[in-house]
């Protein structure tokens, strides 16, 4: 039987004394749920690299979102990273393949969000002017027959922000089981493509890029993506 927790050491994109960036696989939650089960944190002990304790999450990605995930290697690092994320200083870039197309090739979505819970259907995020501010910039990168490849750059970090904003544009993320057509016709096509961390005042920002996951490649190629556009970021792995 295949181990449900991948070898995380093989998925490290960047490492230095404070931070690790790993390429999170789609389909694996970062935390154990109420019922337990496989989760990303269960594999963090393999990422100690000589430190007494394993790293911890500096932010989160949804279970079915892949790509750049930042870990702090000790409490001091987590405090510094926490400030970057809470103050909106961490630059986040996501790639998505959506169904349909947005009305314009680029723009900014400003749509406040709040969490809505229902016994019958569980919780989801919904647009609400009284909710938390949520702002996302987007740019079309390529088009297919009925699909569009979009780069999203969220300025805020609300739960499900990109997924709700894409649906509000009239082009939900392909495979989204909550905000897209039901049943979804594919796995979720949302990927944390890159992260920029201005962590050290006297040094350039840390820039890390994650290659697209295998399950997104066919749809990306249909929208004009080329594998030559997917470099690995390897700085700091010494």
Q: Which residues are marked as active site? A: 62
- Secondary structure class of 41 (helix, strand, coil): helix
CB 14 within 8 A of CB 194: no
CB contact at 8 A, 189 and 96: yes
Distance in angstroms (rounded) separating the CA atoms of residues 165 and 179: 10
How far apart are the C-alpha atoms of 23 and 31, rounded to whole Å? 16
Residue 166: in which H helix or E strand, if any? Answer: helix 161-168
Q: 92: buried, middle or exposed (CB in 10 Å: 19+, 13-18, 0-12)? A: buried
Residue 197 is given by DSSP the state: E
Q: DSSP E strands: which ranges in the chain?
A: 12-15, 19-24, 56-57, 66-72, 91-99, 106-110, 113-118, 122-127, 135-143, 147-154, 190-197, 206-209
Q: For residue 12, which of 65, 73, 59, 62 has the smallest C-alpha distance?
A: 73
Query: Rounded CA gap, 101 and 170, in Å?
Result: 7
């Amino acid at each position: 039987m295949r181990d449900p927790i991948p070898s995380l050491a093989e998925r490290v994109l960047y490492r230095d004394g404070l931070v690790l960036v790993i390429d999170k696989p789609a389909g694996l939650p970062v935390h154990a749920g109420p019922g337990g089960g496989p989760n990303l944190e269960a594999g963090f002990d393999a990422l100690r690299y000589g430190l007494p304790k394993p790293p911890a999450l500096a932010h989160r990605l949804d279970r079915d979102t892949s790509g750049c995930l930042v870990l702090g290697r000790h409490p001091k690092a987590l405090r510094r990273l926490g400030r970057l994320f809470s103050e909106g200083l961490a630059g986040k870039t996501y790639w998505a393949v959506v169904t349909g197309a947005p009305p314009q090739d680029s723009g900014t979505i400003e749509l406040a969000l709040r969490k809505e819970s229902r016994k019958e259907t569980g919780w989801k995020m919904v647009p609400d002017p009284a909710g938390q501010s949520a702002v996302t910039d987007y740019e079309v990168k390529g088009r297919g027959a009925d699909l569009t490849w979009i780069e999203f750059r969220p300025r805020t970090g609300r739960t499900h922000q990109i997924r709700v904003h894409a649906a509000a544009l009239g082009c939900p993320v392909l495979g989204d089981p909550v905000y897209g057509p039901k049943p979804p016709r594919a796995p979720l096509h949302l990927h944390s493509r890159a992260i920029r961390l201005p962590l050290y005042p006297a040094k350039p920002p840390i820039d890390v890029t994650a290659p697209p996951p295998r399950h997104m490649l066919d749809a990306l190629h249909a929208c004009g993506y080329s594998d030559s556009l997917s470099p690995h970021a390897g700085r700091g792995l010494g």
